[in-house]
Chain A
Amino acid sequence: AQKVTQAQTEISVVEKEDVTLDCVYETRDTTYYLFWYKQPPSGELVFLIRRNSFDEQNEISGRYSWNFQKSTSSFNFTITASQVVDSAVYFCALSGSKDMRFGAGTRLTVKP
Chain B
Amino acid sequence: DSGVTQTPKHLITATGQRVTLRCSPRSGDLSVYWYQQSLDQGLQFLIQYYNGEERAKGNILERFSAQQFPDLHSELNLSSLELGDSALYFCASSEMEGFLDTQYFGPGTRLTVL
Contacts and interface: CB of A to CB of B under 8 A. Distances in A.
A44 to B, nearest CB: 5
Contacts of A77: none
Per DSSP, chain B at the interface is strand
Interface residues on B, range: 20 to 34
A35 B104 CA distance: 11
B100 A102 contact: no
Contacts of A104: 42
B88 interface: yes
B92 to A, nearest CB: 8
Given A35-B102, A43-B107, A47-B102, A98 B43 contact: no
Interface in B77-106: 88, 90, 92, 98-100, 102-106
Interface residues on A, range: 20 to 34
Contacts of A102: 42-44
A99 B45 contact: yes
B14 interface: no
B101 to A, nearest CB: 8
25 contacts: A37-B105, A43-B88, A43-B107, A43-B108, A44-B105, A44-B106, A45-B105, A46-B2, A46-B105, A47-B102, A47-B103, A95-B99, A95-B100, A95-B103, A97-B98, A99-B58, A99-B99, A100-B33, A100-B99, A100-B103, A101-B45, A102-B43, A102-B44, A103-B42, A105-B42
Interface of A: 31-33, 35, 37, 43-47, 50, 52, 91, 95-105
